[in-house]
Structure 1
Amino acid sequence: MKTIFFRSAVLLALGLSLGLTACDKQLDIDPYQSVDAATALDTQDKVGSAVIGLYARLDSPNLYGTDLILVPELLAVDNYISFQGSFQNYRQIATRNTNSQTTTAESIWRTAYQAINQTNLVIDALPVVKDEDLKAQYEGEARFIRADMHFELVRLYAKQYEAGGANAQLGVPLNLVPIRTVEESSTLQPRATVAQVYAQVIADLKSAITLLPASNGTRASSYTAKALLARVYLQQSNFVEARTLADDVIKNSGKALSPTLQSVFTNRNSSETLLEIQQNDQNNAGTSNSGLATLFASIGQLGRGDVRVLGSFAGQYEESDARGTDSLAFGSSRKLIYLGNGARAGALRTGKYSAYGQNIPIIRLAEMYLIRAEAAFRAGDVTTALADVNRVRTRSGATPLTEAQLSLASILRERQLELAFEGFRIHDLKRTNTNILIPGANGSPATTYPITSDRLVLPIPLREINVNTTLVQNPGY
């Protein structure tokens, strides 16, 4: 039977990246749509076009266009956000009531592996690229995206990496060979272990660091790869390596914190971002049933107002903190959390996603400061940790912490306040082994939901189980 890999391999979509800067000469390559995979990448220009297509695929609503940011937030909604929308797939995730046929779990899996297969096709075609600098760049970009997709998959479909453990728990299939034909697609790929997936992710990113240029326009650079590897090491609790890479990015990437957090999201390719998904009003992840602004915003006629910010979370920001709320409508508010006046009006919403065609920041410098702060504190370097946390806080007008106020808990809390609604929520709770607080209601006391629960791991899609007999389903599904 044909697997998802065959669907994306025989007809290779090499479309021009959605919203990538048209004036950038490195992107001025004619697109190729539905090209036979056996002959699609037989020239240097075609390989270059395929690499651009990789970035376009990341904007899919099944990937960073919506789900890779929204789903990690919905998995830990309690005392944070609530889902008010009518889409049952997201409601099931928010209530931890998913099953193996949930469309979201299937679409993330399918689209991520399509992207991975496209990276493999690019890597396989590299011999036709005669320009050695371009050849190295294209390989670095492909390996970076392949690593990123495997990393996102293993965090969502497998149990958390355990520092110091064997990590023999099932991860996700590692797809490292291009698939072009029915015969190639019939090879059944079992789930690798979590240890094996992380090892491959790290190997790909280390290769990408050596291959990518230090500056690469709006595309991934060597510092983008270093930043992602710092995130990977943090997820593993490898704090020494995470700190080293975050420190390198902070000192040497040329990036700087934007004047305000809001400007990171309202401006394009700010001084702070190491990677962002390029969108515009014509090409974006969606304006009606998908897209981050569609689901998060409630601004007049813009947005569905599906994701509500709970007052208990918004109340954690002090009054001077621009990341918090003054309970005014968007446009009148001077804060990042506003009172919705469109769909489902009257509830708090995040202003991070306020336009359908805005770019989507994926990796930014503030995260590197917070990684370095946490790693430094764990190593006993309070001076560095305090300075880094306060750089992030003072940018938004929050009162700087004193040394007496600094703790691991306060640093982790700062990550929640700064990186809220950006796809970090469940991953941070898992790596720190923090249970989910369920507030008391209707006379019932507050309780906790165990972070190790099987329900906080997405199911392997039933469709994949049916076509690949080597796949083992996750417990509870």
Structure 2
Amino acid sequence: MQIFRKLKKEYLHIITLLVLLISCDDFLEQEPNRQVSIDQQLSTKNGVLEAYNGIYRDIEGVFSGPFSTYADALGGNITFTPFGNELTVQIPSIIDRTYNFNANEQDLNFESYYDDWYKIINETNIIIERMTGFDFLTSSELNQLRAELLTIRALAHYQVSIVFAQNYNFTADASHLGVIYNTSTLLAGVDFPARETMANTYNLIKADLDEALSLYENQQLLPAVKTSYFSSISTKALYARIALQMNDWEKSKALASEVITSSGVTLLNTTNYISEWEKPIDPVSETIFEFTAPRNSDGSVSSSISAYFIFVGASTTTNLFARNVASGDLLSLYNNQDIRRNMFLEEAISTNINGIISPQNYYFTKKFQDDAGTLFIRLSEMYLIRSEANARLNNTALALSDLNIIKERANLPALQNTNNLLEEIFLERRRELAFEGHLLFDIIRYKKDVERNLGCVSVTCNLSYPSDFFILPIPFNSIQLNQNIKQNEGY
């Protein structure tokens, strides 16, 4: 499946666009006579749009793959189902090193995650650098294309930074190492860029996003689901998320407000909250951005994020369920009033505990069942971003108002006391955004410890902040190929 494929190293990615049209196979595995030159690929409007669409497919593949469990598993929202003939609960091999906080530069589970983003960055830069020759596109189309590609470039560098660099406020002036920021294509054996500081990394992300927002046109380049391609609104939503993670409270507050007031999207309400999640083929109505699951020529979904969360059935002969379920730590956060307690499929599965096999209950999220697309941003997150930003700016009444909108929608009483407001926001984010890829990064932003108790099967369940192991090492091959890349501390 696409979600399990391994891709080549970033310094070989200069020729990535050669075969964006050749299914989902690694382009380096193709026969030479099937390859299409970059110039030929980008010589027509159709060729450019196919390459542009291919970049979105690559991004979907990254987010719907093993990374979909990363932040929730490491943060403590996820535990695992029984596996193998022994029916014991085991850590999936695709995340074992990382989950145990004992990754190293040659064995970190997410080497391909690093590679994939720099591949996407190079693909994006290749198109940007050739745009002056796209006389088959109107000026409006060129603006829209450049805006989306700049947004993608910012997104890619941000995703690398939150996994492979310490959080923005790790040092007082963010002078610690960030990531390599590529604004042009790299040539193998010629270009050896160094890592920026985290402050410069964020400045470069902002520059790309600010330019993108100045260019967006009110149009789509392809006739597809509106929420599957970046627009001015979804870019503002992404920018609000990034600004929050970078402690830019004013920016995150302002952008979240713009999305809330001008997106035309409304929050799920209490009545339809559960039922909308139970129809995963369609995005929930408050979706700002979702990566559509890829489809075969017959219209069937070829791969989906549901592979990591789905429950189809369990019996003595057939087990059709994913490895990832809600931890006891997460479940304990929902009280009996909270409608989100109903966001889980409770299923009994035979489990070997100390040599005794008996049915045990496991809780599968309803968010990603069947052929679900990969949800990326929804409106609830914007309210929680604005709430946190206001709380950190000491605008407690405004922060409380947004927090209570989310709490009351979940059938919880409004919070009246603001003594522990930031902690309440943190917990509400954990409840509301569970399995959507935020928890570890919230823990890091808050400078909290990782505390995994109920359901943790790691050799290291807890991790105190700060720690070298809140982030992953730069993969060994990248260090070997570029002598200017400094490895993260502790690795």
Normalization by structure 1: what TM-score? 0.83
Query: What's the CA shift for 1:383?
Result: 3.2
Q: 3-state SS of the aligned residue for 1:474?
A: coil
CA gap 1:10/1:368 in 2 versus in 1, 3 angstroms:
closer
The code of the aligned residue for 1:126 comes to: M
Tell me the residue number matched to 1:310: 327
Pair 11,46 (structure 1): closer, same or farther in 2 beyond 3 Å? closer
| Change in CA separation of 1:39 and 1:451 when aligned onto 2, cut-off 3 Å | farther
Contact 2:329 2:454 in 1 (8 A): no
Partner residue in 1 for 2:36: 35
Q: How many Å separate the matches in 2 of 1:305 and 1:137? A: 39
Supply the distance in 2 between the matched residues of 1:7 and 1:300 (Cα, whole angstroms).
Answer: 41
Please state how far the C-alpha of 1:113 moved relative to its aligned partner. 0.9
Aligned residues: 437
8 Å CA contact 1:320, 1:399 repeated in 2: no
Structure 1 position 307, deviation (Å): 1.7
Q: Distance in 2 between matches of 1:207 and 1:146?
A: 12
CA deviations over 1:187-237 (Å, ceiling 9, x no partner): 222222212211111111111112123564231111111111111110111
Cα 1:366–1:470 change in 2 (3 A) is same
The alignment partner of 1:12 has SS state of helix
* Equivalent residues of 1:158, 1:457 under 8 A apart: yes
Residues in 2 aligned to 1:200 and 1:462: alpha-carbon distance in whole angstroms: 25
1:53 pairs with 2:54: yes
Residue number in structure 2 paired with 1:87: 92
Match for residue 255 of structure 2? 245
Alpha-carbon separation, structure 2, partners of 1:285 and 1:459: 32
Letter in 1 for 2:78: I
Find the aligned partners of 2:170 and 2:195 in 1 and give their Cα distance.
Answer: 20
Specify the alignment match of 2:126 in structure 1: 121
CA distance in 1, matches of 2:285, 2:364: 25
> Where do 1:248-267 residues align within 5 Å?
248-259=258-269, 260-262=272-274, 263-264=276-277, 266-267=280-281
Partner residue, 1:221: 231
- 1:321 equivalent to 2:327? Answer no
Cα offset for 1:266?
Answer: 2.0
Q: Is the 8 A contact 1:12 1:34 kept in 2?
A: yes
Q: Distance in 2 between matches of 1:71 and 1:97?
A: 14
Supply the AA of the counterpart residue of 1:81. Answer: I
Q: Deviation per CA, 1:61-89: give whole Å up to 9, x if none.
A: xx211234311222222xx3224455323
Instruction: Describe the shift of the 1:465–1:411 C-alpha distance in structure 2 as closer, same or farther (beyond 3 A).
Output: same
Q: Check 1:305–1:295 CA distance in 2 against 1; reply closer, same or farther (3 A cut).
A: same
Shift of 1:7: 3.7
Which residue of structure 2 aligns with residue 419 of structure 1? 433
Does residue 65 of structure 2 align to residue 66 of structure 1?
Answer: yes
What RMSD, in angstroms, separates the aligned Cα atoms of the two structures?
Answer: 2.9
How far did residue 358 of structure 1 move? 1.3
Give yes or no for contact 2:384–2:402 (8 Å, CA) kept in 1.
Answer: yes
Preserved CA contact (<8 Å) 1:298 1:343: no
More deviation in 245-254 or 387-396? Answer: 387-396
Q: Does the alignment pair 1:299 with 2:312?
A: yes
Other-structure match for 1:26: none
SS in 1 for 2:194: coil
1:178 maps to 2:185: yes
Closer, same or farther: CA 396–303 of 1 in aligned 2, 3 Å: farther
CA displacement, residues 111-153 of structure 1 (integer Å, 9 cap, x when unaligned): 1111111110121121214301100000011011110010010
The CA distance in 2 between the partners of 1:408 and 1:4, in whole Å, is: 39
Q: Report the Cα offset of residue 164 of structure 1.
A: 7.8
Structure 2 equivalent of residue 331 of structure 1: none
Structure 1 residues 415 and 86: CA distance shift in structure 2, 3 A: closer
Deviation per residue, 1:377-416 (Å, 9 max, x gap): 2333333222212222233333332356872211111111
| TM-score normalized with structure 2 length | 0.81
State the AA in 2 paired with 1:346.
N
Question: What CA distance in whole angstroms lies between the structure 1 residues aligned with 2:273 and 2:131?
Answer: 39
SS at match of 2:447: coil
Tell me the equivalent position of 2:172.
Answer: 165
What residue ranges of structure 2 are gaps of 5+ in the alignment? 1-7, 25-33, 81-88, 221-225, 352-359
The one-letter code matched in structure 1 to 2:210 is K
Distance 1:281 1:135, change over 3 A: closer
Report SS of the residue matched to 2:202.
helix
Q: Highest relative contact order (Cα 8 Å, sep 6+), 1 or 2?
A: 2
Give the gaps of 5 or more residues in structure 1. Answer: 19-32, 325-334
Task: Tell whether the 8 Å contact from 1:460 to 1:474 is kept in structure 2 after alignment.
Answer: yes
- Kindly indicate whether residue 159 of structure 2 is the aligned counterpart of residue 131 of structure 1: no
